[in-house]
Structure 1
């Protein structure tokens, strides 16, 4: 890529001269879609991002939100690494994890959990499986090595991701003392800019601009230099060093080096403080000889942090970096002037920092609203359809994926992967941060971190009593069928996942993925997912406090479906939660299913049933009183008579019931209604749950006036799902269901 004629004219007018080669490259990357959100930012005002618990909202490396005790904060961020993961699935996915973890560090937080939402082409394609295996390996390698558990996420397969997979990774961090909070806003002139971490090489050059263009047919070979190479062991040292620096109050502001490398991080840091910088690029510690100014400025080498440090603290920062075997360079200082970079005495960049960061004009793009699908349903045998839907890679067990992730490291995960949402036990450490010899407790506990303990727990720790529920994902079948309604459904489903574990939704971040926005139909679909996600989050009173936009996910195979990944967290008292699996002891209820409670014919649009058998239909109408449903569900899930709760969405009741059965617990269920048998069993209206309870009357009373409750059967100890739908009876024992749901493991092992 290069600066467009229009952008070149704007830069020339602002500078009063032709830009230098380094300036032109820096503007090209910082004004790219990936960094400047030129096509999406006009739409993002639809999201409500304020709330009484929001401490730091959109615009920083990660958002910061207060937990109920008021003295404990969490950070929440999300990133995409889509194009790199196509070119090099292992390194592309691994460095996506590294980047979102460093976003967490730059806020003064310790990373405590990861979620990954992954989207690939048809599972039957060899290339899709190659990408899938490489991405999962990259995520597991990096996350496991740095000791941050991957606890939740999603995996989806859809033909339109064949030429452009999506890798969306989110991270939660913990700040157990408000005084430890750091932001990416430079504080005062005269402070030093210090680079800590790995040496700078030539990897990742032009990564921001690469992420802002369609993938070419030869991308896997031609764009390999734009993909970064990660080193998780250095990242682990950086995590510990960052803790030590925060412990001793040595950091005034921080920014991780991601898109556009050193130039992006340092210019954004000072621009947020309405300040400038003077940087001497030759001072940057380098791992390759003869690097030029542009390479040093824009390389996206991993495991690096830029810190603002008071002059008196620079030597101590260097000592801590050395203790953790990290490179450390004092590369310049914060000023009141322009953003200036010199290389061997020659000025290579001299521009206003705010113009670099915010000067890119927005794109005024045409859009076409997507058309609604007509109703054209297939005729199928119900038993064949059940086996096809339950055995689809989209709805099948993802155990092959999450068993590769260490979800037990840090000993916080109370509800592990495989459920509707993960539950994390939030613990604080008391303020024993210094020993008699003045060394920080983070330094002292390095060995504990390596063995999986959480930071600063070498001293006495305190339970907060707060459980944090975490859900992430989207369904491309939904948003491909109906971008607006599908995105609303994505938000409602993630909120239902959290509430099903007894938690009240607190906040969310999103990763908005779309194709080439210059195509009106693609941009229309993208606008639909933005508005749909924003409207439902507002309705549920869930502030969207940050996120990421990834456009130009387009290739020779065509654009991806508009994909609004949402990562949502909620809070509850305590860490216990009802499982999704049946106990075999209670009555079974379906809550909030419009098809069972009325004569409404639910839409089958966006369902796995139609994905397997062809046809089309409108997307299901969402239930009424959605906010009240989520609130009530959170209370009912924690009721002492509740035995199990499971969200009903992907694959409909067929998949939900199949997932709840085990060798020790079965169910006898009858589903009746005015809709067809296929509609009753396979429609995917979100905002529904199946509840196993020892007190069905209490559940019905709780939902009275909020959501309909239908009694559909009972759990037992048979290990068999006996299911009657209208006039059709289906019987499958747990081993048969397990075999159907093990398609991914069978194909990849």
Structure 2
């Protein structure tokens, strides 16, 4: 394997041209032999150390999407002009932006920080939050709220006990210090995530439509200003999951970890500084410094512009001595932004930064050339066509093949599993499921988050979706939910992705909001495995086709590959985030039932005998096989429309979707969240076990005032939505009575539901 030939002499482009045979550490930096050969062909010489560093990080899976790009194009192919009508910025931008009415635009995105969070749980999760927040800032928006979708190995495993508390503390520590409410997310445990947890962070922000900013460097002579924190040695090689040895050999310095180190207080000031700059119209283009640091920011700004760029790297403020050009370009030090500013506005720009005590430095300018040129103390260390770095990396058509085991998995039906049949068995099963780590209350986690800071949180976890007010004068707000049942995706990637979409869509509609856009974080194993690529391709097509059917666009997202331990991949986990808009948050629908006696509980949708990939099969029998529940997206759309209409007309007082754990879980959560009793009624013509624990899609439990019951049910019947009476709200009840099955006291339910996570991690 080639090794580094580091010397104290700066490796300039001139020196690179004179020493074509110098061995370079391209393999250690994650570049394949043919990729390295292509770089030499592009440049007409060997790359300098700094150029090699740039190409290695920008051509990594994380930045270039080289194994997924071929399949991701399908999102564009299936997006219609009608779906694009409200889309102001989409795939390829820092975050998607949609027009939500009244002159408001909302931007949102979900990204992964999986591997760093395993290596260093606190900082990995914290900087995951910081990075996604800066993506929202880069669009010109004020960040409003965050959410997190977390997955770990078995809850009682020693390594989970090491990783989970640190991840939760990192999410809480960064978000709380920023003053951003954490309004939702997921917490899932499965053996496949042991050694490879998933930490997916979401942020949503709002702006006036005219305040939208994009990442491009145009206008010859415009200045490039780096502002925010100083650049250090932390995070080098982070995006390519590599340590920084190749850049550090011979320097005599202690190697720092490839996980970034965050400072939320610096980021909080940076947010306010950016908003001030936007308000004064001092920015032409802007880019955050996240994965690949300056390598990404400079190459992407230049590639999206109409000229070239010259950067004087020795002007970059540093917090470590003796950093090389390669290290400065590859550092992923947090809390940094890069802006393109007209010369006439530079003084005003600097004044705003000084006002907020933010370090700002003019490091270069836009040129009339075609290359990104970076100098170091007057010598050229980078001279590249920027698009070859940012957008023209390798694109692989990886082999894909349906796994040979898939037929056996689908044939392994859960039908032969012993089902509870007596009232005592059903009672025991309900208590077992609601106290399991997957279905138990997540209050131990969410109590560490500030869910209501800034005063605009309308709904937050444990509600089905988070709802945030964006306009205090009109009450306009947005709802967001993230969802994925990875067992369903494992059984059928196409249908499983659509089920994840359907659940997130339904959760948003359950709050009374109209779903309008999608983001995603696609977490899979190694792309070199044909079976993994088959899962990925099927999931992408399922999601894209589902969005086309529902008429809502995918605005952007993230792909995270190589999520596996040894040769064992995680369950395929395409986390789907859906954004909805509600014109007045005062009509939002809460999850818990209220205390008005006699309100009717109605079950909307159809319950079928569907237990493939179900929580019951998994937790009670350790079984994963068969087919996932059927998905009917037209029915999901109809259900959403009826929920929104019921919210708008005051016909629904509470609503909770049915998903993991089925009706039993929904009843328990509705009672405990609302702190109000209920009597549930089962259908005499269907097996009680199926009614209580089936995870059929397209179902919601709603509470309807007696005065609105006839009007609401007539609307459902007229529009063809199945419904049945499922019970009645009873404030005098001691908890939950399931007629013909069992009665549960509220304290019994609360102890079972709320004590699990504190016992494991408290």
| TM-score under structure 2 length normalisation | 0.88
Give, in whole Å, the separation in 2 of the partners of 1:327 and 1:555: 41
Residue 622 (structure 2) aligned to one of 611, 614, 620: 614
Tell me the equivalent position of 2:237. 206
Q: How far, CA to CA, are the matches of 1:590 and 1:626 in structure 2?
A: 14
SS at structure 1 position matched to 2:101? coil
Q: How far, CA to CA, are the matches of 1:183 and 1:38 in structure 2? A: 23
Q: 2:379 aligns with which of 346, 354, 359?
A: 346
What are the superposed Cα offsets for residues 262-297 of structure 1, whole Å, 9 maximum, x if unpaired? 111111011012432111111000011111110111
Which deviations, in whole Å up to 9, do the C-alpha atoms of 1:163-209 show, x marking residues without a partner?
Answer: 11111111111113x33221102221211111001110000001121
In 1, Cα distance between the equivalents of 2:256 and 2:112? 17
2:118 is aligned to 86
User: Which whole-Å CA distance do the structure 1 matches of 2:236 and 2:437 have between them?
Assistant: 36
Contact 2:149/2:201 (CA < 8 Å) preserved in 1?
yes
Checking the alignment, whether the CA contact within 8 Å between 1:604 and 1:610 is kept in structure 2 is: no
Counterparts of residues 669-684 of structure 1 (less than 5 Å): 669-672=680-683, 676-684=687-695
Distance 1:206 1:645, change over 3 A: same
Distance in 2, Cα, partners of 1:491 & 1:640? 27
| Residue of 723, 730, 747 corresponding to 2:738 | 723
Are residue 711 (structure 1) and residue 729 (structure 2) matched?
Answer: no
CA distance in 2 between counterparts of 1:179 and 1:566 reads: 28
Aligned to 1:626: 636
Q: Equivalent residue of 2:199, what SS? A: strand
1:44 alignment partner in structure 2? 72
523, 540, 555: which one pairs with 2:550?
540
**RMSD between aligned alpha carbons?**
2.0
Choose 543-552 or 570-579, whichever is displaced more: 570-579
After superposition, the Cα gap between the structure-2 partners of 1:712 and 1:134, relative to the gap in structure 1 and judged at 3 Å, is same
* Matches for 1:198-597 after TM superposition, within 5 Å: 198-210=229-241, 225-335=257-367, 336-369=369-402, 371=406, 372-376=410-414, 377-379=416-418, 380=420, 381-427=425-471, 463-556=473-566, 558-576=568-586, 577-584=588-595, 585=597, 586-595=599-608
- Displacement after TM superposition at 1:604 (Å): 3.5
* Native 8 Å contact 2:525 2:532 kept in 1: yes
Deviates more, 1:370-379 or 1:346-355: 370-379
Secondary structure of the 2:585 match is coil
Counterpart contact for 2:225–2:361, Cα < 8 Å: yes
Kept in 2, the 8 Å contact 1:389–1:609? The answer is: no
Equivalent pair of 1:603/1:621 in contact (CA under 8 Å): no
Q: C-alpha separation between the residues in 1 aligned to 2:729 and 2:510?
A: 18
Contact 1:581 1:659 in 2 (8 A): yes
Offset, 1:680: 2.4
Between the aligned partners of 1:681 and 1:610, the Cα distance in structure 2 is 16
Structure 2 distance, partners of 1:212, 1:349, is 22
Q: 2:700 aligns with which of 689, 697, 719?
A: 689
1:657 to 667, 682, 687: 667
SS of alignment partner, residue 46 of structure 1 = helix
Which whole-Å CA distance do the structure 1 matches of 2:684 and 2:661 have between them?
A: 18
**Structure 1 pair 75–211 and aligned structure 2 pair: CA distance change class (3 A):** farther
Deviation at 1:236, TM superposition (A): 0.9
8 Å contact kept, 2:309–2:366: yes
* Distance in 1, Cα, partners of 2:190 & 2:97: 34
Q: Does structure 2 conserve the Cα–Cα contact (< 8 Å) formed by 1:275 and 1:353?
A: no
With the length of structure 1 as denominator, give the TM-score of the two structures.
Answer: 0.90
8 Å contact 2:614–2:660 — kept in the other structure?
A: no
Q: Deviations over 1:415-467 (max 9, x none)?
A: 2321011221122xxxxxxxxxxxxxxxxxxxxxxxxxxxxxxxxxx613312
Structure 2 unmatched ranges of 5 or more: 1-27, 245-253
Cα 1:211–1:562 shift into 2, 3 Å: farther
Contact 1:80 1:96 in 2 (8 A): yes
Contact 2:635–2:698, Cα closer than 8 Å, also in 1: no
Residue aligning to 1:218: none
How far 1:487 sits from its partner (Å)? 1.1
Q: Decide whether the 8 Å contact of 2:310 with 2:366 is kept in 1.
A: yes
Query: Match for 2:747 among 735, 745, 748?
Result: 735
- Consecutive unaligned residues of structure 1, counting only runs of 5 or more, are 214-221, 428-461, 596-600
SS at 1:92 equivalent? helix
Select which of 99, 102, 124 maps to 1:66.
99
The 3-state SS of whatever aligns with 1:10 is helix
**1:602 maps to 2:610:** yes
| Residues 663-702 of structure 1 deviation map (CA, whole Å, 9 limit, x = unaligned) | 8522222323666443322121222100111233323222
CA distance in 1, matches of 2:658, 2:118: 32
Asked whether the equivalents of residues 605 and 700 of structure 2 are also in contact (C-alpha less than 8 Å), the reply is yes
Instruction: Check whether the contact 1:472–1:494 (CA below 8 A) recurs between aligned residues.
Output: yes
Query: Compared with structure 1, are the counterparts of its residues 394 and 17 closer, same or farther at alpha carbon in structure 2 (3 Å cutoff)?
Result: same
Contact kept? 2:111, 2:132, Cα under 8 Å: yes
Q: Secondary structure at the match of 1:629?
A: helix
Give 2:248's aligned residue. none
The answer to whether the 8 A contact 2:309-2:364 is kept is yes
Aligned to 1:121: 153
Deviations 1:467-486 (A, max 9, x none): 21111232223223322211
Question: Residue 537 of structure 1: SS of its match in structure 2?
Answer: helix
After TM superposition, give the deviation of residue 223 of structure 1 in Å: 9.9
Between the aligned partners of 1:609 and 1:674, the Cα distance in structure 2 is 23
1:32–1:212: 8 Å Cα contact kept in structure 2? no
Partner of 1:23: 51
Corresponding residue SS for 2:558: strand
Shift, 1:608, TM fit:
4.2
Give the Cα separation in 1 of the matches to 2:292 and 2:684. Answer: 57
Cα–Cα, structure 1 residues 211 and 515, in superposed 2: closer, same or farther, change >3 Å? farther
Is structure 2 residue 39 aligned with structure 1 residue 11? yes
Q: More displaced, 151-160 or 626-635?
A: 626-635
CA distance in 1, matches of 2:66, 2:451: 37
Give, in whole Å, the separation in 2 of the partners of 1:207 and 1:639: 51
Q: 2:476 is paired with a residue of what secondary structure?
A: strand
Tell me if the contact between 1:53 and 1:65 (Cα under 8 Å) persists in the aligned partners. yes
